[in-house]
Amino acid sequence: MTTRPEWLNTAIFYEIYPQSFRDTNADGIGDLNGIIEKLDYIKGLGCNALWLNPCFKSPFYDAGYDVEDYLTVAPRYGTNEDLVRLFQETHKRDMHVLLDLVPGHTSVNHKWFRESMKAEKNEFTDRYVWTDSTWEEPDGMNALKGVSERVGACGVNFFSHQPALNYGYYKPNPEKKWQQSMDAPGPMATREAMKDVMRFWLSAGCDGFRVDMAHSLVKGDEESKGTIKLWQDIRAFLDREFPAAVMVSEWGEPDKSLAGGFHMDFLLHFGPSHYNDMFRCEEPWFAKRGKGDSAVFWKKYQESYAKSCGGLICIPSGNHDMDRLARHLTPDEMKLAFAFLLTMPGAPFIYYGDEIGMRYVEGIPSVEGGYERTGARSPMQWDASLNAGFSAADPAKLYIRQDSAADRPTVAAQIDDEKSLYSEVKRLIAFRQAHEALRNDGEIEFIETENYPLVFVRKTANEKLLVVINPSDRKQPLGGGITPGEALYTIGGKIEGAAGGFAAAPCSAGIYSCGK
């Protein structure tokens, strides 16, 4: 396993979508100075690390995931100097910053792609996945074609304006001469160029990267063996030059990503994890109706945990690609969801605004390729002032429309309310940080029960805690011979009963010392 920096063992991340967090120049778009202005708020909540969604120069057809220049901050957000100052200000507060690295594709505006489109061969000709015929698309990929003087079609990873960078094919088809091996000059040049990008920002003071679509780089790699090998090479480079650099992958298969040298992997809202069975489906497990089913999620999590070899599996409250928690759960239900998120192993990630229960804003026209995701990207709600304290701009000029409801949740309304979601999240974070067994690297022991409640033990050599979560609106027997000890933290009621007949109270969560 890759050596993990000590700070990761107690890291609690806060994800910031830069354009929607805080606008300091009244243009309707958030900026880096706005993030700096709110660092004390983030630290006060208890988070000690940031993940910033892409903040580099881009045409912004896909929220900055279409990078035009990896080494230049987008003017809408500020300057390179502003980003360096953000690194410095976070470090002053004993906090850390991960940037969003997008190694799989660029914008069509990137100079690498413009050069690769030329008919004459140059150093960027093989920087992208091009076929030899304008009429032949790369297998399993959509493609750009008929857009250049060069003969061929260029594969795209997602949107049509995101040409796929070339890291080679795991097993090139000899009948398709354009399929290059991983160690061919073009793919190796791409790999080295991405190392240069990482080298630039790590030297400037960032602490590492969240890597977009980390599983997708090597093509024709069904078992991810080539991609794992590629990331092992990048980890070796980091260990030589930046051994403290932290890496978290958007992969969703911890047994593969952690083998590749990542410290952490996200459980994803798509793929095999069944993560959203708990939070976002027709009957979420955390809804008090008690009609959800955690079985598939729990089984898959246990399988992934057994293969993690000490790496961290991260479960985010949400992110820029999925519905807000509040679209599916009430504030009281979200308190229990956070009790789960903040007692599980791995580094927790809180999506900006989830700590106050910001809502999904229905009916927003798509902004920057967000489509149905746009409603989860609305501006942060700070107080009752103009634009909820996000911006001094004319409301009509806000880049993404804001929740206009009179009762929209705000930080100011919740920060001093002991019964608010914000206060519960803050208490949970403080409790987690005060207990060794709840550290990111603490072990978990799974207790088999019926569907409700969820029961597990977190432990280290020095401490052992029992966690019991029952979001359903009825008592649920513990079973399994479980004997809870002293109640150390509770939401909504304590475990009831005596030996052989314990039950979790309705709509409750609790952390207990472990009884005999």
Going by the DSSP 8-state scheme, the letter that residue 428 receives in this structure is H
pLDDT the model gives residue 470: 97
pLDDT value at 499 more than 80: no
- Return d(Cα 469, Cα 491) in angstroms, integer: 9
Residue 122: CB atoms within 10 A of its CB come to 11
pLDDT value at 49 more than 90: yes
pLDDT the model gives residue 500: 66
pLDDT the model gives residue 514: 87
Average pLDDT over the chain, rounded to an integer = 96
pLDDT value at 101 more than 60: yes
pLDDT value at 430 more than 90: yes
| CB-CB contact of 409 with 358 (8 Å) | yes
pLDDT value at 185 more than 90: yes
Residues 379-404: pLDDT tens digits? 999 999 999 999 999 999 999 999 99
Pairing mode, if any, of strands 56-57 and 454-459?
unpaired
| CB-CB contact of 452 with 423 (8 Å) | no
Mean pLDDT calculated for residue range 171-185: 97
Instruction: Give residue 267's pLDDT band: very low, low, confident or very high (50, 70, 90).
Output: confident
- Return d(Cα 137, Cα 245) in angstroms, integer: 37
Mean pLDDT calculated for residue range 46-70: 98
pLDDT value at 480 more than 70: no
Mean pLDDT calculated for residue range 317-322: 96
Residues 335-390: pLDDT tens digits? 999 999 999 999 999 999 999 999 999 999 999 999 999 999 999 999 999 999 99
Share of the chain above pLDDT 70, in %: 99
pLDDT value at 247 more than 80: yes
- Return d(Cα 167, Cα 117) in angstroms, integer: 18
- Between 136 and 515, where is the model more confident? 136
What is the distance of C-alpha 411 from the center of its chain?
22
What is the distance of C-alpha 510 from the center of its chain?
26
Task: Give the range among 59-68, 214-223, 226-235, 299-308 with minimum mean pLDDT.
Answer: 299-308
Q: pTM (2 decimals)?
A: 0.97
State how far the alpha carbon of 419 is from the alpha carbons of 155, 292, 413, 434, 495, in Å.
52, 26, 11, 21, 21
pLDDT value at 1 more than 60: no
Share of the chain above pLDDT 90, in %: 93
| Domains, in order of start, for the chain | 6-104+187-433 (3.20.20.80), 105-166 (3.90.400.10), 443-514 (2.60.40.1180)
